[in-house]
Amino acid sequence: MPGRIGFPRIPLAHLPTPLERLDRLGAHLGMEPGALSIKRDDATGLAGGGNKARKLEYLCADAQARGCDTLVTGGGHQSNHVRMTAAAANRVGLACTVVIAGAQPEQPSGNVLLDELLGPAIVWIGPATYYAIEAAIVHESERLTATGRRPYAIPVGGANAIGALGYVVAAEELRTQQRAQLGAQLAEVELVVVADGSGGTHAGLAAGFDDHALVLGIDVGARPDLDQQVPSKADEVAALAGLPPPAGHCQIDHDQIGMGYAAPTDACREALELAARLEGVILDPVYTGKAMAGLIQARRDGRIGASTTTVFWHTGGMPALFARAYADWIRTGSTLWTT
């Protein structure tokens, strides 16, 4: 089925995702009623939900169009992208091989438990950097090709231009929804705050809004080259969608990484508690907790004003909370953490 931007798309996500006001959290941060809202991409469905569902709609359609029979991807130990790719493969009837950084745990928890239930071929590659995971995805694809299979390699986070098309369309979805909800008085969105892992979501949104000034990405420490990757990926996906390159300068906040990718911080914990206790919204320790911490910091230092129409883009990730290490962190508040 061709999607709105003329690329084949397989519907996998529950769309549009809700756009909800966060007036109680907004009030806590000294914001006017209606200024702060949340885009619920944690509610996309697909084996627990999250931002990868929108990317996989385009990636799976591309895989099928190319006659591929196996999705190949990878990620960190508690990768949401791995979980959702395995689910998408099952839903569309493709095989799936995933490479995961780290050692196979004795007792699977969080995303790994769901991975085992979903049943892709899992290759544990030991401690690995972002680039080592990318290399392992290529390696597994070549190995499958040599055995006569037709692999479709998806980079970490689904962060190529095809995947980012999902967020070009999502930007339009937000605008439409906002206009419908606000009626004629039009306080258009002034800032979207989103977690930057691979940066594909940020790139797609900037391209879809046609303006870098509307998106503030919060670096969670997954890759060191976001400042180059996001703008170049945004130009690439804009070209693919037939749009002009987005105006302005790419905005990425690098202040919330703490000790590194997946290592929680005190600010992340404060964000998790505020969202849970003021709004009943569950954030995750790896991505959305740090992203919300970045929003709170930007509000406190005045980069977000009391009436700035701000949308926090929730990208999912709840299963990681059920990984043992994070459960201990939630209970004890301990941020003594080693990666």
Ligand X SMILES: *Cc1c(COP(=O)(O)O)cnc(C)c1O
Known catalytic residues are 79
- Single out the residue of 110, 199, 231, 264 in contact with ligand X (rule: CB under 6 A): 199
3 state SS of 247: strand
DSSP per residue over 130-146, as a string? HHHHHHHHHHHHHHHHH
Stretch that binds ligand X, among 17-25, 141-149, 189-197, 260-268 (CB under 6 A): 189-197
Stretch that binds ligand X, among 4-12, 13-21, 241-249, 281-289 (CB under 6 A): 281-289
Can residue 251 be called a binding residue for ligand X (CB under 6 A)? no
N- to C-terminal Cα separation, the chain:
43
C-alpha separations of 125 from 72, 78, 135, 137, 242 in Å:
14, 14, 11, 10, 38
Can residue 62 be called a binding residue for ligand X (CB under 6 A)? no
Q: Which of residues 19 and 46 has its CB atom nearest to ligand X in the complex?
A: 46
Q: Which of residues 81 and 269 has its CB atom nearest to ligand X in the complex?
A: 81
Q: Are 76 and 52 in contact (CB under 8 A)?
A: no
Type of residue at 113: L
- Single out the residue of 315, 319, 326, 329 in contact with ligand X (rule: CB under 6 A): 315
Cα–Cα distance for residue pair 41/283, rounded to 1 Å:
12
The torsion angles phi and psi of 8, rounded to 5 degrees, stand at -60, 140
- Single out the residue of 88, 159, 205, 311 in contact with ligand X (rule: CB under 6 A): 159
Which residues within the stretch 105-144 sit at the binding site for ligand X (CB under 6 A)? none
Stretch that binds ligand X, among 60-68, 89-97, 246-254, 312-320 (CB under 6 A): 312-320
Cα–Cα distance for residue pair 207/201, rounded to 1 Å:
10
Can residue 219 be called a binding residue for ligand X (CB under 6 A)? no
Q: Which of residues 136 and 226 has its CB atom nearest to ligand X in the complex?
A: 226
- The residue count for binding ligand X (CB under 6 A) is 20
Can residue 48 be called a binding residue for ligand X (CB under 6 A)? no
Q: For residue 100, which of 70, 68, 132 has the smallest C-alpha distance?
A: 132
170-190 in b/e form (b: 16+ CB < 10 A) is: bbebbeebbeeeeeeeeeebe
- Per-residue mark of binding to ligand X, 64-103 (x: CB under 6 A): ----------------xx----------------------
Would you state the torsion angle of the CA atoms of residues 106, 110, 111, 116, taken in this order, to the nearest 10 degrees? 40
- Cα R_g (the chain), whole angstroms: 19
Can residue 200 be called a binding residue for ligand X (CB under 6 A)? yes
Smallest separation, CB 138 to ligand X (Å) = 18
Q: Which of residues 9 and 202 has its CB atom nearest to ligand X in the complex?
A: 202
Can residue 284 be called a binding residue for ligand X (CB under 6 A)? yes
Can residue 201 be called a binding residue for ligand X (CB under 6 A)? yes
Smallest separation, CB 187 to ligand X (Å) = 26
C-alpha separations of 181 from 24, 52, 167, 174, 175 in Å:
19, 26, 21, 10, 10
Q: Which of residues 110 and 197 has its CB atom nearest to ligand X in the complex?
A: 197
- Single out the residue of 50, 166, 208, 258 in contact with ligand X (rule: CB under 6 A): 50
Could you list the residues that contact ligand X (CB under 6 A)? 50-51, 80-81, 157, 159, 195-202, 284, 287-288, 315-317
